[in-house]
Chains A and B, each alone.
Chain A
Amino acid sequence: MKEGLRQSMAWLHTWLGLLFGWLLLAVFVTGTTAYFQDEITRWMQPEIAGERNLDASAEGALAYMKAHAQGAESWTIQLPGRRSVAAMGYWKEKGETYRQWRDHAFMVDGRGRKVDARDTTGGWLLYRLHFDLHYVPVLWGRWAVGLAAMFMLVAIVSGVITHKKIFADFFTMRLGKGQRSWLDAHNLTAVLALPFHFMITYTGLVTLMSQYMPWGIPAAYERPADYYRDHLGADAPPTRSGEAAPMASLSAMIRQAREHWHGAEPGFIAIALPGDANSVVKITQETGAAMGTRGETLSFDAATGIMRRLPPVKGGASQTESVMVGLHAGRFAPPALRWLYFFSGIVGSAMVATGLVLWTAKRRQQLPDPSRPYFGFRLVEKLNIATIAGLPFGIAVYFIANRLLPTGMAARVAWEAHWLFIGWGSVMLYVFLRPPRRAWIESLGIAGAAFFAVPLVDAATTDRGLLRSLIAGDLVFASFDVCMLVTASLFVCAAWTIHRRPVATIRVGRSAKASIA
């Protein structure tokens, strides 16, 4: 009976893992980059330099909108977090949807001056890819990712049951033994980061629980709006009085908010009906100020600058959700912990990648004629190569496109994203045209070359290349370029390792699993 359970769990693990593996790999890889979302965005806007100054950039953004956006429905200021330099401001005209905000977005640096930075989605694109995908409606993307995450949870549990000797094999990694080595690598990356894998999958589902499990809301609230008020502090918007009233000092409101939070910084300012007598200023705490990521929102009467009634204290469930989402996104994490998160993400990516390769490694020996595998085997193997090498290649191309696309280009933001998928798609096409062994070597090699090219293109097109940023002590730019070089080396090592192997055994060396960064 026990053997029966283990076998059925192994079957479940194998086929669920295969079905969702490619999507999960994309989710893991982009999610891992999202831990450095702010830093990636900074690298992708080299025009923005200098020190962060929260108050100066808030005032600068406000002044710009006072001059250019009188009569707008709302003004919004996204203040720079601890890892950013510039604030982003945008406004919404009457009748516009929220999605059009990009049309009126601008950046303000720490001296309060508007900077003409290149138009880019930066690290945000990779962050959104992580749960929204791209080219599909956001809701569909989230259903797909949610489904994959749910089955990832099933795969974690079934994987633990399938694994015969978790403790005996805890430190075991045998090299050069084909399928055995892939199983070891898969077990090692899965077991040693198991707390992270479980936490990240579970809390990932929690981040979108109101979409995946919406029935709790109508069960507890008569009007869904009340849920959003209690949970997110979303009040009903004010109505326009038609009477003009100048706005009181924003800096004073920020100061009040800071005092109220015992020094924690604001992260987001939304001004509804600016210039109207009924205008309301809402200041939300920075998402990284505490482990719970949903910081409190304080409302101010814009004309007087007086704080309105405090939001209701959040209930236990709401606070638990806030901490779970915070734990997932790691916005609170100080630098050392952020690197540990990033490392765990790489281990997670490696776990999915080794699992995918294991599927083929296990079946290769049983092939009747190894030179002519059946269709399903070939398809899985090609999709493995196309994802493991292709997606990172696409990301490198995205970074290169950021430097090479002309700054004044129409639809520049969209084209940066297109280039990511053009890069990924061309590797996929290429892989399907080549025999598998060559496809592995060449696509890993191409990915490595692309990552090497990123710092070179950066040095050639901006004045913030690796050497200069090292001399200037610019940690963000220098670390980004060094990460590119490390990733490049890992891919090249992986390609080289396969190249060195005798032709008869088509296996990937151990460095391949580490190179999914």
Chain B
Amino acid sequence: MIVLCLLAAAVGFTGLCFGMPRHQRDVLGRVLSPFRTRLYKTLGWIALALSFGLAVARDGAALGSVYWVGALTLAALVVALSTTWLSRR
């Protein structure tokens, strides 16, 4: 379940990252249409909310939110470093 929560957070941040023209250019080499940009952003936020829901559903509001914040940090760093790595190629 913590793995699912981490995954959802990583998907969420990936969505937010792809919702930014700068990273679209770096990783994909082109800028996506405004519609798809917004779609990525929306999906990103939904996945982040889902990861919170997963953490709280498993461990309750108190412990779950501590888990969630920790998972957010790890997931965001993984996404940021992968973006760097992908755009180097």
Contacts and interface: CB of A to CB of B under 8 A. Distances in A.
Interface of A: 168, 170-175, 188-189, 192-193, 195-196, 199, 291, 327, 332-333, 336-337, 340-341, 343-344, 347
A192 B84 contact: no
B74 A173 contact: no
Main secondary structure, interface of A, reads: helix
Interface of B: 2, 13, 16-17, 20, 22-23, 62-63, 66-67, 69-74, 76-77, 79-81, 83-84, 88
Nearest to B62: A291
Given A291-B62, A337-B66, A171 B73 contact: no
A337 B70 contact: yes
Interface centre among A173, A196, A199, A332 (most CB of B within 10 A): A173
A175 B84 contact: yes
Contact of B20 (A171, A174, A192): A171
14 contacts: A170-B16, A171-B13, A171-B79, A175-B84, A189-B77, A192-B72, A192-B76, A195-B73, A337-B2, A337-B63, A337-B66, A340-B73, A340-B74, A347-B77
Nearest to A189: B77
Contact of B80 (A192, A195, A333, A341): A192
Contacts of A189: 77
Contacts of A172: 22, 80
Given A195-B69, A347-B73, A291 B63 contact: yes
A340 B69 CA distance: 9
Contacts of B23: 171
Interface centre among B2, B16, B66 (most CB of A within 10 A): B66
B15 to A, nearest CB: 11
Contact of A196 (B22, B73, B80, B84): B73
A196 B70 contact: yes
B88 A175 contact: yes
- List 4 A-B pairs, minimum CB-CB distance, nearest first: A340-B70, A171-B80, A173-B84, A192-B76
A82 to B, nearest CB: 15
Nearest to A197: B73
Contacts of B88: 175
Contact of A344 (B22, B73, B79, B84): B73
A174 B84 contact: yes
Nearest to B17: A171
B67 A340 contact: yes
Given A192-B77, A336-B2, A343 B70 contact: yes
Nearest to A181: B84
A175 B16 CA distance: 21
A172 B23 CA distance: 8
A171 B40 CA distance: 15
A173 B23 CA distance: 11
A193 B83 contact: no
